[in-house]
Structure 1
Amino acid sequence: MNERIQTQFMVMSFSHKNAAIDIREKLNFATEQIVPFLQKICASEAIKEAILLCTCNRVEIYTSILDRRIARDHIYQCLTQEKQISLESLQDIVHIYLNQYAIYHIFCVASSLDSLVVGETQITGQLKVAYKLSYDHALCSKDMTRLMHFAFKCAAHVRAHTDISSNSVSVASAAVNMAEQKLQEKGESLDSVEVLLIGSGEMGRLVAKHLSNHQAKITLLNRSEHNAQNLAQEIKANIPTYPIVVKPYETLRESLKTHRVVFVATAAKDYVIKSDMIVPHHDRRLYFDLSVPRNIETMAIPHTEIYSVDDLQEIVDQNKTSRQESAKVGLKIVDQFTADFFKWLQTLSIDPIIKQMRYLAKQSAMKELERAIKKGYLPQEYEKNVEKILHGAFNTFLHQPTMRLRQASENPQGDPIIEATKNIFDISDDVVMLNGYKCEKDTTIY
């Protein structure tokens, strides 16, 4: 059986749609853990290539496989061993997508149509980073490169032909907007309070950017004060007089006493803010934890409201309403790209089959022509003219079958026809795979 028929695509998804944040915390992978885990996955003969996408809202494993049952069970086993989560717990929540459904899902993810905040701008870049990490460690090659190539084209097309990313919203901006709404309920706003921001990574940078748009006064803490200073300079480069102050990380306890609005966005694997760090108070406190695993310990303290990424539903609902029409258009684009991907993928194998059929016909014709001349049935001087006649004859004969084969290759249900043709003409898989696919590794972040 050739590679096109054997290879299937599978997605195992744990996202905000089916897995609560406490499960996503357990399933979360630090960057240095991803490659060893993918190596374990790809150790199975049933799994050819794999990519792991790990964000605050999803942990998803994208694979090209040879046997769906063996591949699925092997990934379950790897997850249960790595994360100490029972098989039953994983099976209860996982979403598994196969083939066309897997491709459709991945294209939706790349186009931010499956995001908690539809239209958010981070996910395409995160997927590119995940692909590059896997590619650079030889954990994915032809199958997933083909797929990612189309996914990024699809994402670009959705952005170019819809308004889904206009006034783009991210988890960071949704959290900042929620903070503004919560303050306005009491007649306040972000520009009237001092905000404590803990973390200066990508999420922290986005939070700082959106806070600056609201003219909030920011106190920035980070374990690396150098990185915090760099972020402060980045913000001040746009607004030289902007009130952002960097303090040593060791001042965290004291800063919590004086700030009523706190955003936490770090890569820490444990709690950054614990219950014993909070002193009793009478003012309303708003804490926004944008980290997975969570950085704020679950606690019940009077006048203190703690929000995680899964608590942004108010802003998410507003976002869905405003982008509903764009999302509908985007999903139609994804649907078309999914169909185009499979059509294109199938044509990769049909061209060498057609070429081999023509080659076999020509070889048979030339063999009979040579025999006729040797036997004296045909004068030598007629060889070229007869060769032209035979060439026209077998091309005419093969025209209709090759047209039908091309039509069959554009339909997923055409596989039996193509396989039957290969058997009839005794065309081996080695011949089919001579038509190697080449795709430039695309790592540019849109």
Structure 2
Amino acid sequence: MAATAVGCSGRFKAEALRRPCKPSTSSAYSFSCSYARGLVRLERRERFVRCELGSSVSGSASGVLGQRSDFSSVSALEQLKINSAERYTKERSSIVVIGLSVHTASIEMREKLAIPEPEWPQAIRELCSLNHIEEAAVLSTCNRTEIYVIALSQHRGVKEVTEWMSKKSGLPVSELSKHRFLLYNNDAAEHLFEVSSGLDSLVLGEGQILAQVKQVVKVGQGVVGFGRNISGLFKHAITVGKRVRTETCIASGAVSVSSAAVELAAMKIPEPAEFVSARILVVGAGKMGKLVIKHLAAKGCQKMTVANRNRDKVAAICEELKGVDIIFEPFDHLLACAAQADIIFTCTSSEMPLFLKEEVGSFPQASQVITGTRLFIDISLPRNVDPSIGDSEGAKVYNIDDLKEVVNANKEDRLRKAMEAQIIIADESRRFEEWRDSLETVPTIKKLRAYAERIRLVELEKCLSKLGHDVPKKTKRVVDDLSRGIVNRLLHGPMEHLRCDSGNDRMLSETLQNMHALNRIFGLETDMSFLEEKIRAKVEQSKR
């Protein structure tokens, strides 16, 4: 049972939430049912806590607003009254991941929600402008579009992000809700760690996803909203991905989407001699295209045409694969090249189809080497090939979702390797949770320093007023330094007990106890300055 629980993937947990729990002898299924019931209990408890705290928190927040003339907006005040119990309780914000993947949604849905990399910063800014979202990140690939957020309220945060996704994609909220997966906090972190390790990929163990996770961090640097929690989560995911690939054999013999596409073409032309002699066109010479070319060469294909906008990329591939005859063609010649090809691989970032049914209908018949049927293997998202082309005689169209036929081969061996990786993920999930727990002390440190500084300034002012108006500047500086020194010496002990090595369980537990004790002793939990600052920021943001 322990091994099964450790090996349970993020998508399995998501599926457990959607299907009814029935008695079963399967330990994995029992685990999913108990997990779903646990979440239901947590949601009920959260609603109860919100009801209990709603009136008191709303009243306190309204009191803060009443003292400030620049918070006169009635709509903002009403909005605050409604949401304050969820936004500003003592519970910390939640990590939430909302997404569609190859395991939960069709390619038709995924391509509508796909977010190109240049649009990620704007998407982060839009998400963080939502009322209950503090931080955000976007991971959008050919197999998935996942939105990671730090939400002030789980329920309202999910609602706002889902509505944003609906507006972005044009898909109804009801349709998105049927196919999305939804995970919180440690389950969300574990899911990302599985993704970066290649465990959640269509092709188990594929390595390209780790580079895509790294790109999220690279693009997010300097973007307002890609904050400490989200940045820390993705950086930790990169560490997990590297560790899994170093300490397990999951990457050995693993296939990528590109190699699976080549394998699929080979399966459709079972005779090796016919496959090698087929006329091949590769559209696109980016990362995916380059991998397709390499895998074709490994299969024995020594001649192929590559259509690309940039000649230099194709020249670099030719230099690397000197034994392969690669013919470059500009995009202007794309249709002419496709008309002469038997197998066409498309792997570009084009948002519009490159091949339409009416254009392909005028192509001559493909070579008799492959029985006159032209193969389009489209591994792009959005798709580069109009799927209706497959309805016409003499053409077959395959996309990313059709690669499952290849992926199922040797699946048991890769699953054994995945179990080794899950042990590492469980360990790293605990480390990440400890790191996140250690961040809880940061607001207390700031508030304690601010509390001490207010007292110091009041007492300093009293002292200087007693000394008279003609006190030399040097004396004022000495008295100021003296007051600072006393405060720093007094705070040194408490501050030391609010810092710890997050890898030490005992120290972390003691640190959190110390944090709660200091909050009670100095009344920091009732200090409304931090709350007021968050309210002001959100209201001002909504006005812009």
Match of 2:139 in 1: 53
Call closer, same or farther: CA 1:36–1:345 in 2, change over 3 Å: closer
SS at match of 2:344: strand
Match of 1:196 in 2: 281
Call closer, same or farther: CA 1:297–1:423 in 2, change over 3 Å: same
Structure 1 runs (4+) deviating above 6 angstroms are 1-4, 351-354
Call closer, same or farther: CA 1:334–1:189 in 2, change over 3 Å: farther
Match of 2:379 in 1: 290
Match of 2:419 in 1: 328
Contact 1:50 / 1:134 at 8 angstroms: preserved in 2? no
Asked whether 1:247 is paired with 2:329, we answer yes
CA distance in 2, matches of 1:207, 1:13: 28
- Specify the code of the residue in structure 1 equivalent to 2:296: L
Match of 2:127 in 1: 41
CA distance in 1, matches of 2:126, 2:135: 11
Given candidates 180, 183, 190, the residue that maps to 1:104 is 190
CA distance in 1, matches of 2:174, 2:506: 41
- Specify the code of the residue in structure 2 equivalent to 1:289: D
Match of 2:406 in 1: 315
CA offsets per residue over residues 31-77 of structure 1, 9 Å max, x none? 33322222111002421111100100000001112111221111122
- Specify the code of the residue in structure 2 equivalent to 1:67: S
Contact 1:10 / 1:63 at 8 angstroms: preserved in 2? yes
Given candidates 125, 136, 154, the residue that maps to 2:240 is 154
SS at match of 1:318: coil
Report how far residue 145 of structure 1 moved: 2.0
Share of identical aligned residues, percent? 28
- Specify the code of the residue in structure 1 equivalent to 2:354: V
CA distance in 2, matches of 1:65, 1:20: 28
Contact 2:441 / 2:515 at 8 angstroms: preserved in 1? no
Greater percentage in helix: 2
Given candidates 69, 76, 93, the residue that maps to 2:179 is 93
SS at match of 2:221: helix
CA distance in 2, matches of 1:408, 1:78: 42
SS at match of 1:197: strand
Report how far residue 352 of structure 1 moved: 9.7
Count of residues in Structure 1 that have an aligned counterpart in Structure 2:
384
Report how far residue 322 of structure 1 moved: 3.0
Contact 1:46 / 1:67 at 8 angstroms: preserved in 2? yes
SS at match of 2:145: strand
Greater relative contact order (Cα 8 A, min sep 6): structure 1 or 2?
A: 1
Contact 1:346 / 1:409 at 8 angstroms: preserved in 2? no
Match of 2:257 in 1: 171
SS at match of 1:288: strand
Asked whether 1:421 is paired with 2:537, we answer no
Contact 2:339 / 2:364 at 8 angstroms: preserved in 1? no
SS at match of 1:72: helix
SS at match of 2:354: coil
CA distance in 1, matches of 2:421, 2:214: 20
Call closer, same or farther: CA 1:420–1:239 in 2, change over 3 Å: closer
CA distance in 2, matches of 1:418, 1:316: 52
- Specify the code of the residue in structure 2 equivalent to 1:297: D
Contact 1:4 / 1:349 at 8 angstroms: preserved in 2? no
Report how far residue 277 of structure 1 moved: 2.1
- Specify the code of the residue in structure 2 equivalent to 1:257: A
Match of 2:97 in 1: 11
Contact 1:4 / 1:346 at 8 angstroms: preserved in 2? no
SS at match of 1:312: helix
Match of 1:116 in 2: 202
Alignment map for 1:21-420 (pairs within 5 Å): 21-184=107-270, 186=271, 188-216=273-301, 217-222=303-308, 224=309, 227=310, 229-278=311-360, 279=363, 281=365, 283-299=372-388, 300-349=391-440
Call closer, same or farther: CA 1:119–1:188 in 2, change over 3 Å: same
Query: Unaligned stretches of 5+ in structure 2?
Result: 1-86, 366-370, 453-492, 531-544
Report how far residue 157 of structure 1 moved: 1.0
Report how far residue 254 of structure 1 moved: 2.4
Match of 1:437 in 2: none
Report how far residue 307 of structure 1 moved: 0.7
- Specify the code of the residue in structure 1 equivalent to 2:103: K
What RMSD, in angstroms, separates the aligned Cα atoms of the two structures? Answer: 3.3
Report how far residue 241 of structure 1 moved: 3.7
Match of 1:389 in 2: none
CA offsets per residue over residues 339-398 of structure 1, 9 Å max, x none? 1211232234469979x8xxx9xxxxxxxxxxxxxxxxxxxxxxxxxxxxxxxxxx9xxx
SS at match of 1:287: strand
Match of 1:371 in 2: none
- Specify the code of the residue in structure 2 equivalent to 1:336: D
TM-score normalized by the length of structure 2 = 0.64
